[in-house]
Amino acid sequence: MAEYDSPWKESISLYFHDFVSFFYPSIEEDIEWKRGFEFLDTELQQIKRESETGKKAVDKLVKVWRKTGEEQWVFLHIEIQSQRKSKFQERMYIYHNRIYDRYRKSVVSVAILGDEEKEWKPNSYKRELWGCKATLEFPVVKLLDYDMEELAQNPNPLAAIVQAHRTAQIAKKDAGVGYASKLSLIKSLFERGYGREDIVQLFRLIDWFIALPKFEEERLWQEIQTLQEDEKMPYITSYERIVIEKKLQEGQIMNARNNIVQILEVRFECVTQELKQTIEKLDDLELLGELLTQAVKSPSLEAFESIVSQKAVEGNILTEEE
């Protein structure tokens, strides 16, 4: 199954400057990059606790400095799925205002839409009654608008990330294109002139986006080995492949744990520390998948805890004493 939110978070963390340059070149030109930038994860988490809707999305809050010397906060929102029936615009408005309300910092909100509905491109929020208006307009980028052939020629790392996102969506509908598309995308990393570190990082991110059956992954690895031998450029060693696979699995496990806790908190508000610690001990993806479903379906927190206890009795959850 395709994974979108975790690799996007990682992509922004690794390639923030490239991210802004690729999606918002006019903003990139106004930032004084020599002063660096700072991810405000703690500050954003305070806002998310107040505003979380449980939707599939990626949010980042980043502090930058303009060339005028002015400090500027940027709220980045990536909507992973089509949210026509959700309150996407309202979410943008709420986050924008709560960031300012809590921290009294000027904030620019921007959005990336990663859904598959071509005509859906909301870029504003508005409420009006009796002459009183509340509005917010924000820049929006639609991943579906990018041409895949043009992306293949673009040296910006984010072009490869967008390709991976789009390829994962296509492969979800037609499993037959997954292998060839993933191989082609990985081959293009060698052709775009990236350094070794970027190739390894982008390989890992692409691997995260586009999951293949085990036998196809083995076949893909053999192709990559042959390619590296032909080019005499051993970018990705067998050891690094093991590390990449381990990090990928760890990321999937961590994401599954977080999703379970977040769903429980949204549905039942208060989740005990004991239950959180139990979930943190789980490292079986199949079991975590079952519990994720139960987190959505369980009529109460007590019912969910009962299911967890039942799994423990069945031997599916190992305690520290065991």
| pLDDT at residue 322, as a whole number | 40
Look at residue 146 in the predicted model and tell me its pLDDT.
Answer: 93
pLDDT value at position 245? Answer: 60
Span 270-276, average pLDDT: 82
Once rounded to an integer, what is the mean pLDDT over residues 94-114?
A: 88
pLDDT value for 102: 85
Average pLDDT over residues 84-112: 84
> In degrees, to the nearest 5, what angle opens at C-alpha 214 toward C-alphas 209 and 215?
125
**Rounded average pLDDT over 309-321:** 58
73-91 average pLDDT score: 71
The residue that leads in pLDDT, 124 or 307, is: 124
pLDDT for 90 equals: 87
pLDDT at 109 over 80: yes
Torsion angle of alpha carbons 212, 218, 224, 225, nearest 10°? 170
Domain locations in the chain as residue ranges: 31-145, 148-246, 257-313
Where does the pLDDT of residue 41 fall: very low under 50, low under 70, confident under 90, or very high at 90 and above?
Answer: confident
Share of the chain above pLDDT 70, in %: 82
pTM of the complete model: 0.68
Look over the chain and give the mean of its residue pLDDT values, rounded to a whole number: 80
Model pLDDT, residue 312: 66
pLDDT digits (tens, 9 = 90+) for 9-23: 889 989 999 999 999
Q: What's the confidence (pLDDT) of residue 238?
A: 46
Can you tell me the distance from the alpha carbon of 249 to that of 165, in angstroms, rounded to the nearest whole number? 19
In tens, the pLDDT along 117-172 reads 888 888 999 999 999 999 999 999 999 999 998 998 899 999 999 999 998 888 87
- Reference 92, options 113, 77, 114, 72; nearest CA is 77
What is the band of 2 on the pLDDT scale with cuts at 50, 70, 90?
Answer: low
Confidence category of residue 29, pLDDT binned at 50, 70, 90: very high
What angle separates helix 157-173 from helix 5-14, to the nearest 10 degrees? 170
The packing angle between helices 157-173 and 196-209, to 10°, is 20
Once rounded to an integer, what is the mean pLDDT over residues 259-282?
Answer: 82
Confidence of residue 306 (pLDDT cuts 50, 70, 90): confident
* Out of 59-73, 235-249, 286-300, least confident range: 235-249
- Packing angle, helices 5-14 and 16-23, rounded to 10: 100
- Tell me, what's the pLDDT at 212? 78
Which is higher by pLDDT, 41 or 20? 20
User: Is the pLDDT reported for residue 111 higher than 70?
Assistant: yes
All residues at 6 or more sequence positions from 153 whose CB lies less than 8 Å from its CB, including other chains = none
Q: Are 193 and 233 in contact (CB under 8 A)?
A: no
Q: pLDDT tens digit string along 228-251?
A: 665 554 455 543 554 556 566 666
Tens-digit pLDDT profile for residues 189-238: 878 888 878 888 888 888 888 877 778 877 877 777 776 665 554 455 54
Q: Is the pLDDT of residue 101 over 90?
A: no
pLDDT at 139: 92
